[in-house]
Amino acid sequence: MNTNRDFAAIILAAGKGTRMKSDLHKVLHPIAGHPMLLHLLDSFAELDLKRTVVVVGDKREQLDAALADRGVTTALQEPQLGTAHAALQARAALEGFSGHILVCFGDCPMVRADTVRRLIAALDEGAKVAVLGFRPADPLAYGRIIADSDGTVAKMVEYKDANDEERACDLCNSGLIVAHSDDMWPLLDAVGNDNAQGEYYLPDVATGAIARGDTVKVIETDADEVAGINSRAELAVAEAQWQALKREEAMAGGASLKAPETVFFSWDTELGRDVTVEPNVVFGPGVSVADGATIRAFSHLEGASVGEGCSVGPYARLRPGAVMEKDSKVGNFVEMKKATLGEGAKANHLTYLGDAEVGAGANIGAGTITCNYDGYFKYKTVIGERAFIGSNSALIAPVRIGADAIVAAGSAVSRDVGDGDLRVVRGDQVVKPGWADRFHDAMKKKKAAEKEKKG
């Protein structure tokens, strides 16, 4: 790719997406927790785009909101008269721009930056227009690309306008097209709507270039990369495809996935080397896992940082703001939210740590709860280094437990505990010898009398 030439992208996202049957714009439906349109923009970020224009129509306000901090311009297509007409709506936003222009679709989130570079390279080698083709297992109703063995395009035709011989061709049009601005705008202007649908088709940019004697080249890629998403079923297929790629990437990076097909990643999940992930683990957005950590089965992590050598789960839940420092551990049925577990600290089972700070080496007993909410406000619990919290304790925030302190099992602590202190907060244990036996005898006699009375 010639880096001396500026590059811009027009992303078409004006369609209604009726097959999704959703109040959410089609291109904002998430894959791995990230809107498909933003996947595409993230990929294009590698290309050093000078300008990006998203052509919008239906539910424009949703797209404007999603793109507010992306440095992207939107252009309205109204009415919607076809894909070439849509691309023309970006002209005002690209006024004064001179360089290569890519036109693509917002519902094709898997397009890679390297593929776009290959299209640009075709222009640098002399083509006036470059298009992206693919060979699906079933060509269905895709538009066809009729090309020579060297990739020179002789004709592009929509399926509805193709004859039987052209439909027999398995090289299909993805819709991605690149040309220099000096060529793109005149070719778009020349597109007509004399076709079966009466629409202005984007592929006719290539057809127009061929008609005037220009060279048009097709670059081929895998069908999975350019699969469009128009329905919930196709969204699920794309999610599965993305997850499969991410699993391969994680294992190639040094992580061990015990049952890869059962592990689900978010778009921004980060795993270090020698991380072990057991079956049925879900990573939500914003999770990083450092080297040597173990995520045990059936755990759910979101917005969490897991330090080196840590152990999570099984059946643990780390919510946003959870931070586990080196060699700390949470076990089964432990939940953390906006809480830090210090180096080597442990909460082995049945514990809730919310709005809490736990010092290094502390031990949190089973059934411990940090009571952080009074129905109106959240409060913080601070537990010092090497403190021991006995089982079934309630720490009623705001409260501070000192270093090396012990909270006896079954305590409800509402006042600070000093360093090295023992705090026991329980009612007196009362024993009444023989009381239970007398109670049972009385109840049995009463029950028998009731039964005799009814009989």
Query: Would the annotation count 446 as a binding residue?
Result: no
Query: Would the annotation count 215 as a binding residue?
Result: no
Cα–Cα distance, 114 to 47 (Å, whole number): 9
Query: Would the annotation count 352 as a binding residue?
Result: yes
Are the C-beta atoms of residues 328 and 314 closer than 8 Å to each other? no
> From its phi and psi, is residue 209 left (phi > 0), alpha (psi between -120 and 50) or beta?
alpha
Query: Would the annotation count 391 as a binding residue?
Result: yes
Residues 6+ apart with CB under 8 A from 326: 290, 307, 308, 309, 310, 343, 344
CA proximity to 191, closest of 88, 49, 114, 101: 88
Query: Would the annotation count 304 as a binding residue?
Result: no
Query: Would the annotation count 82 as a binding residue?
Result: yes
Are the C-beta atoms of residues 364 and 358 closer than 8 Å to each other? yes
Query: Would the annotation count 158 as a binding residue?
Result: yes
Cα–Cα distance, 193 to 93 (Å, whole number): 24
Query: Would the annotation count 363 as a binding residue?
Result: yes
Given the residues 29, 100, 300, 349, the one annotated as active site: 349
Query: Would the annotation count 26 as a binding residue?
Result: yes
Q: Which two tokens stand for residue 49?
A: 């785009």
Q: Which two tokens stand for residue 163?
A: 């004859």
349 in active site: yes
Query: Would the annotation count 384 as a binding residue?
Result: no
Cα–Cα distance, 232 to 235 (Å, whole number): 5
Give the ranges where 89-213 is alpha helix by DSSP (H): 113-124, 164-167, 181-190, 204-211
Query: Would the annotation count 175 as a binding residue?
Result: no
Query: Would the annotation count 392 as a binding residue?
Result: no
Query: Would the annotation count 400 as a binding residue?
Result: no
**Secondary structure (H, E, C), 35-77:** EHHHHHHHHHHHHCCCEEEEEEECEHHHHHHHCCCCCCEEEEC
**Which amino acid appears at position 159 of this protein?**
Y
Query: Would the annotation count 230 as a binding residue?
Result: yes
Cα–Cα distance, 126 to 176 (Å, whole number): 18
Residues 25, 27, 30, CA angle at the centre, nearest 5°?
100
Query: Would the annotation count 372 as a binding residue?
Result: yes
Cα–Cα distance, 120 to 176 (Å, whole number): 12
- CA distances for 320 relative to 137, 187, 337, angstroms: 42, 50, 6
Query: Would the annotation count 366 as a binding residue?
Result: yes
Query: Would the annotation count 14 as a binding residue?
Result: yes
DSSP state of 378: B
Beta bridge partners, 35, equal 30
Query: Would the annotation count 28 as a binding residue?
Result: no
How many separate helices (H) and strands (E) can be counted in the chain? 9, 33
CA proximity to 308, closest of 284, 331, 292: 292
Residues annotated within the binding site for acetyl-CoA are 366, 372-373, 391, 409, 426
Residues tagged active-site = 349
Residues annotated within the binding site for Mg(2+) are 107, 230
Residues annotated within the binding site are 12-15, 26, 77, 82-83, 107, 143, 158, 173, 230, 319, 337, 352, 363, 366, 372-373, 391, 409, 426
Residues annotated within the binding site for UDP-N-acetyl-alpha-D-glucosamine are 12-15, 26, 77, 82-83, 143, 158, 173, 230, 319, 337, 352, 363
